[in-house]
Amino acid sequence: MIVFKTFFKVVKEYKYAILLYTLILFFFAIFNLEVNNNNIGFTAEKPNILIVNNDYESKIIDNLYNYLEQNSNIKNIENDKDKINDALFYRDINYLIIIPKNFTDYILNNKETKIYVKTTKDANSKYMDMLLNRYLKLINIYKNDYDNVDNLISKINSILKEESHIEVSSNIKVNNLLKTTIYYNFANYSLLASCLFVISTVLNSFKQEMINKRIIVSSCNYKKHNKNLFLAALSFSVIIWIIYVFISLILIKEAMFSWYGLLYMFNSFVFMVCALALSFLLGTIINLKEAINGIVNVIALGSSFLCGAFVPSKYLPEFVINISKLLPSYYFINNNEFISQIETFNFNSLTKYFINIFVIIIFIILFIILNNLVSKNKRKTN
Amino acid sequence: MKKIIEVKHLTKKYRKIKAIDNLSFYVFENEILGLLGPNGSGKTTTINAMLSLLSYDKGNICYLGKEITPDSYDIKKEIGVVFQEIAVFDELTVYENIDYFCGLYIEDKKIRKKYVDDAIKLVKLEQFVNYKPKALSGGLKRRLNIACGIAHKPKIIFLDEPTVAVDPQSRNNILEGIKKLRENGATIIYTTHYMEEVEKICDRIIILDKGKIICQGTKEELKQLTGIEEKVTIEINNLDRNHIEKFKKLQNVKNVEYRFENLEITFIKGKNNFTKLIDYLKKEKISYNKIYSEMPTLNDVFLELTGKDLKD
Ligand SMILES: Nc1ncnc2c1ncn2[C@@H]1O[C@H](COP(=O)(O)OP(=O)(O)OP(=O)(O)O)[C@@H](O)[C@H]1O
Ligand SMILES: [Mg+2]
């Protein structure tokens, strides 16, 4: 008990560092919320799209035009590659749909065909993805039940009408999930910086050679002492984790109070345990207390940049992504991105999620083994 | 007297160097045992071995007949240690530091609070309980270091050079504190390379050099080893060489040296050595400024047995 209490007394000395990292996360989240709220307003004005039709003007395609027109502005731009690319770049259009030749025939006759899309990869384009996919899915489901195309179209339209109110709410959901992902990606930095810095520094105090000697000569069981130290460090990181989750619960309620929220929380919890294991390793390796702050910053900032916590990883060059795969942060952030794209919840759709969790757990085990090796070695040389 | 600790044939090598070599000694109940020796003579190594902090190559160490191992928590419970280096948390206050180290032994909060207060009183740090170690002077830090080691009221206390780099006032405070601990029933093993401290507070002394015990016993016993009874110093200006030879021939004189206008004469046991010397000075009409007589010091013992000064 005294070990536990003393751990937190020492932690108290670093309260300003903890406060600082938490505030950084908090203000980042608020700032992001503002930016993304503007995006939602934009959606209400409807996204701009362009449809290039290489097929003939079939009823199915006509109907797609009509359906999309209800939820977006269909733009008229000359069918010229450069001009279209410019329009995408300057966001004159958010979404480009290219319908291939024979699309109508192929889809009605169960032959392979695919609509090509090019997007600006923002919330608007995700929304369009959803609309388009829903339309195509419904054709595929009902095409064999109806011989007459007109009947098929009226069936599809009636279903689309029913679902339209769901679409609006689901668009908000997509937005919120994006925000949540951005928040938890950034939490990679705050979680690493605060856990690594505070826990390694406090452990360093307990492991100072002379203090350690005092503990060894005392009648307190050394193993039990270290177990208590671990429990205290665990409690500390759980508290930090709870604070960070709590901020997200307040700021991004809609997404967090759902199955998605649970996935984000569990993902970050496992990552927090990973940060804890790494803190123990650092606390053992680093002898000089003054060096800890620097090393922790390199790790927290470095891994955040490399793994796309600040800048989405799709903007990073290939070789950086390859390097980042050696870091646990990559799998944590990758999972955050993945959660926002999940459509249904079942074991198959979550496989990738659990694989990422599994990789992080491997990192945890690795850090624990390394820590044991290093501390054994240290004890021998003493 | 009851033997509390028995050390037999203790030997510890670092690579090929024997840091301590075949040490055997006892510690008796409620005594202050001094381990005296120059730097590197093996004092810290001996203590660390006795605390089972260090593995050793030969020998055994028993507390009341029971050999100590790293897991002897029942023995460790009765031991308090004040290490040579200061070992405290920079992040904690004086009170919190003592409370933590005491808490490693004493779980009960109420008892601990009393013990911590007692320790603070003993080392006279009452005014500084809420200070962080960084704000304390060297001497106060040493006193904190001591309080951390003895707050749990151990029966056996090891103090490894607790007065190094401490001003005289703090040193006296510390020595007073140690005497008080003994009065309260503790047995104390005290290492130092200051012979004055040993003479002041130790009941029995073991003198170490190069990892070996060169002698042990009470102050008086050790001083007898030198064969010196008395040391007389006379301040004389420009003493004639011939006179020095004459002094050497006086009865009971062991050695005569003339350095920096000071004539040092050591006597072996005998009656009225000092008065006979003064009579002789009168008779020879040798004028002098000052004359005084001293008992031999432990430094003389060390000098006699090793041929070198303890202080070097
Ligand atoms: N870890 C170590 N590795 C190698 N040699 C050591 C080690 N610790 C001590 N020694 C050697 O053992 C001898 C005894 O050292 P020890 O520290 O016990 O002396 P000491 O009497 O406590 O000296 P001091 O008054 O300086 O504290 C010295 O020669 C020292 O160099
Ligand atoms: Mg020493």
Paired with B190 in beta bridges are B34, B159
Does B111 lie at the interface with A, CB-CB under 8 angstroms? Answer: no
Q: Please tell me the CATH superfamily of domain B3-223, with its number.
A: P-loop containing nucleotide triphosphate hydrolases (3.40.50.300)
Q: Is B41 in the pocket of ligand 1 (CB under 6 A)?
A: yes
Residues of B in contact with A10 (CB under 8 A): 89, 91-92
End-to-end CA separation in angstroms for chain B: 36
Tell me the C-alpha to C-alpha distance, in Å, between residue A333 and each of A321, A327, B53, B191: 12, 11, 46, 58
Least confident of A25-34, A157-166, B17-26, B136-145: A157-166
Best A200, A217, A229 member to test B by mutation, with max B CBs in 10 Å, is A217
Tell me the C-alpha to C-alpha distance, in Å, between residue A6 and each of A200, A206, A212, B119: 15, 10, 14, 19
Q: Is B43 in the pocket of ligand 1 (CB under 6 A)?
A: yes
* Minimal Cβ distance to A10: which of B52, B87, B89: B89
- Nearest-CA residue of chain A relative to B96? A6
Residue minimizing CA distance to atom 13 of ligand 1 = B19
Interchain contact, A220 vs B90, CB within 8 Å? no
Of B288, B282, B291, the closest CA to residue B237 belongs to B288
Q: Is B44 in the pocket of ligand 1 (CB under 6 A)?
A: yes
Interchain contact, B88 vs A220, CB within 8 Å? no
Task: State percent of chain A over pLDDT 70.
Answer: 94
Left, alpha or beta for A48 (phi > 0: left; psi -120 to 50: alpha)?
beta
Q: Which ligand is nearest to the CA of B53?
A: 1
Segments of chain A assigned E as strands: 48-53, 73-74, 95-99, 116-119
Region A250-269 average pLDDT: 88
Confidence grade of residue A319 (pLDDT, cut at 50, 70, 90): confident
pLDDT tens digits, residue range A100-109?
988 888 888 8
Confidence grade of residue B312 (pLDDT, cut at 50, 70, 90): low
Reading the block at residue B67, the tokens are 């050999």
Q: Is B55 in the pocket of ligand 1 (CB under 6 A)?
A: no
> pLDDT value at position A150?
87
> pLDDT value at position A35?
67
Mean pLDDT taken over chain B: 88
Distance CA A188, CA B4 (A): 58
Q: Is B103 in the pocket of ligand 1 (CB under 6 A)?
A: no
Task: Say how far residue A152 (Cα) sits from the centre of its chain.
Answer: 39
Residue minimizing CA distance to atom 3 of ligand 1 = B14
At residue B6, φ and ψ (nearest 5 deg) are: -120, 125
Confidence grade of residue B44 (pLDDT, cut at 50, 70, 90): very high
* Minimal Cβ distance to B87: which of A6, A211, A220: A211
A35 touches A123 (CB < 8 A) = no
Q: Is the pLDDT of residue B240 over 60?
A: yes
Confidence grade of residue B272 (pLDDT, cut at 50, 70, 90): confident
Residue entry with tokens 């200070």: B131
Confidence grade of residue B47 (pLDDT, cut at 50, 70, 90): very high
Distance CA B286, CA B64 (A): 61
Does A10 lie at the interface with B, CB-CB under 8 angstroms? Answer: yes
Q: Is A72 helix (H, G, I), strand (E, B) or coil?
A: coil
Does A226 lie at the interface with B, CB-CB under 8 angstroms? Answer: no
Question: What are the structural domain ranges in chain A?
Answer: 2-36+172-381, 48-162
> pLDDT value at position A165?
57
State whether ipTM is beyond 0.95.
no
At residue A333, φ and ψ (nearest 5 deg) are: -70, -40
Interface of B with A in 216-275 (CB under 8 A): none
Of B94, B90, B98, B137, the closest CA to residue A290 belongs to B90
Q: Which atom of ligand 1 is nearest to the CA of B38?
A: 25
Mean pLDDT taken over chain A: 86
> pLDDT value at position A66?
87
Q: Is the dihedral of CA B38, B42, B46, B47 positive or negative?
A: positive
Q: Is B84 in the pocket of ligand 1 (CB under 6 A)?
A: yes
Confidence grade of residue A269 (pLDDT, cut at 50, 70, 90): very high
Question: SS3 for chain B, per residue?
Answer: CCEEEEEEEEEEEECCEEEEEEEEEEEECCCEEEEECCCCCCHHHHHHHHCCCCCCCEEEEEECCEECCCCCHHHHCCEEEECCCCCCCCCCCHHHHHHHHHHCCCCCHHHHHHHHHHHHHHCCCHHHCCCCHHHCCHHHHHHHHHHHHHCCCCCEEEEECCCCCCCHHHHHHHHHHHHHHHHCCCEEEEEECCHHHHHHHCCEEEEEECCEEEEEECHHHHHHHHCCCEEEEEECCCCCHHHHHHHHCCCCEEEEEEECCEEEEEECCCCCHHHHHHHHHHHCCCCCCEEEEECCCHHHHHHHHHCCCCCC
Region A116-144 average pLDDT: 83
pLDDT tens digits, residue range B160-185?
998 887 888 888 888 988 999 999 99
* Minimal Cβ distance to B87: which of A3, A10, A210: A210
Does A224 lie at the interface with B, CB-CB under 8 angstroms? Answer: no
> pLDDT value at position A155?
87
pLDDT tens digits, residue range A24-83?
888 888 887 776 655 544 445 678 888 888 888 888 888 888 888 887 888 887 778 888
Left, alpha or beta for A338 (phi > 0: left; psi -120 to 50: alpha)?
alpha
Q: Is B12 in the pocket of ligand 1 (CB under 6 A)?
A: no
> pLDDT value at position A42?
42
Q: Is B37 in the pocket of ligand 1 (CB under 6 A)?
A: yes
Does B54 lie at the interface with A, CB-CB under 8 angstroms? Answer: no
Tell me the C-alpha to C-alpha distance, in Å, between residue A323 and each of A182, A328, A376: 21, 11, 30
* Minimal Cβ distance to A219: which of B77, B92, B148: B77
Tell me if the domain spanning B228-295 has CATH number 3.30.70.100: yes
Report the separation in Å between the CA atom of A213 and the middle of ligand 2, taken as the mean of its atom positions: 14
> pLDDT value at position A41?
40
> pLDDT value at position A40?
47
Question: What are the structural domain ranges in chain B?
Answer: 3-223, 228-295
Left, alpha or beta for A182 (phi > 0: left; psi -120 to 50: alpha)?
alpha
Instruction: Pick the more confident residue, B158 or A77.
Output: B158
Rg of chain B over all Cα atoms, to the nearest angstrom: 23
> pLDDT value at position B278?
83
* CB-count exposure of residue A347 (10 Å: 0-12, 13-18, 19+): exposed
At residue A18, φ and ψ (nearest 5 deg) are: -60, -45
Interchain contact, B87 vs A214, CB within 8 Å? yes
Interchain contact, A211 vs B89, CB within 8 Å? yes
Eight-state DSSP code of residue A147: S
Residues 6+ apart with CB under 8 A from A253: none
Confidence grade of residue B96 (pLDDT, cut at 50, 70, 90): very high
CATH of domain A48-162: 3.40.1710.10
pLDDT tens digits, residue range B56-68?
899 999 999 899 9
Q: Which amino acid is at B184?
A: N
